[in-house]
Amino acid sequence: MSAAMETTGFVMAIISWLVTGTALANDHWKISTVSGNVITSQRITENLWHSCAENSASMVQCRDFESLLDLPSHIAGCRALMIISLLLGFASIIVSLLGLKCITVGSASDQSKAKMALGGGIVSILAGLCCLVACSWYAYRVVQDFYSPQYLGMKFELGAGLYLGWAAATLAILGGGFLCSAVSRTKSNASAAAYYGKAPQKIYTAKTETETAKSFV
């Protein structure tokens, strides 16, 4: 059962890493809303890297965010968190692969492999949390600007890229939890080693005076 859970967690970690990369590259983190507009000539979409405009003829023009120092703080922070999430997710895949029970690598013991799988699970959870914080932070700013009466700029709605990010974060956290089930292997191995490694205990009994006298005859 533990091996099946670890394998499932490893597959979920791989899928999560791929979906995280897809979410990061997706153009639709936020989409211009049509609420209150009778006629819309173009649709504006933005992500962490550029802003795109699509007209009624389906012509798309994109403009990159050129200055890193001129970026809003939430966009720069979300960029960093998503990149960290990708790096942690890749590290989790490598470490978890070496720690799977069904994979044999050199002369590594089952207990050391279980520790590697546990470490990979923890890293996967951290990757999921980074992605979750980035997407939630970005979504919070979109919703805040949408409902703020002081915001006079164009208003946006949540895009598909955010939902992909939330899905990737969920997969990473669940997959990391399944990989952390490898801790049961370390505990079972430790208890087995403690049981079988005990030296047989010697039992001493007091001899009677008759037995002691016979031993000297």
3-state class (DSSP) for residue 43 = strand
pTM over 0.95: no
Q: Is residue 123 within 8 Å of residue 95, measured between CB atoms?
A: yes
pLDDT value at residue 213: 45
SS3 of the chain: helix, strand, coil, percent, to 5: 60, 10, 30
User: In angstroms, how far apart are the furthest CA atoms of the chain?
Assistant: 120
Q: Residue 163 pLDDT more than 90? A: yes
Q: What is the mean pLDDT of residues 48-59?
A: 84
Other beta carbons less than 10 A from residue 63's beta carbon: 10
According to DSSP, the residues that pair with 53 across neighbouring strands are 44, 61
Q: For each of the domains in the chain, give its residue range(s) and CATH number, in order of start.
A: 2-187 (1.20.140.150)
Report strand pairing: 30-32 vs 42-46: antiparallel
Span 77-129, pLDDT tens digits: 999 999 999 999 999 999 988 888 777 766 667 788 888 888 999 999 999 99
Instruction: Tell me which residue of 194, 71, 74 sits closest to 144, measured CA to CA.
Output: 74
